[in-house]
Amino acid sequence: MLQLMGPAITPQTIGSLFALAIGFAVAGACASAYRVVWQRFPSFHLLAMGPMPARFAAVPLLVFSAPFIIMRNTLQGRQFERRRVGVVMMATIIAGLWSLMCGAVVMTAFQALINV
Cα(41)–Cα(30) distance, integer angstroms: 10
| Across 36-62, average pLDDT | 91
Mean pLDDT of the residues in the chain: 91
Q: Is 114 exposed, middle or buried (0-12, 13-18, 19+ CB in 10 A)?
A: exposed
Instruction: State percent of the chain over pLDDT 70.
Output: 95
Please report whether residue 72 resides in a domain: yes
Boundaries of domain holding 51: 24-114
Please report whether residue 13 resides in a domain: no
What pLDDT is attached to residue 95?
Answer: 97
Res 8 pLDDT > 80: no
Q: How confident is the model at residue 77 (pLDDT cuts 50, 70, 90)?
A: confident
Please report whether residue 7 resides in a domain: no
What's the alpha-carbon Rg for the chain, to the nearest Å? Answer: 18
Counting the structural domains of the chain, the total is 1
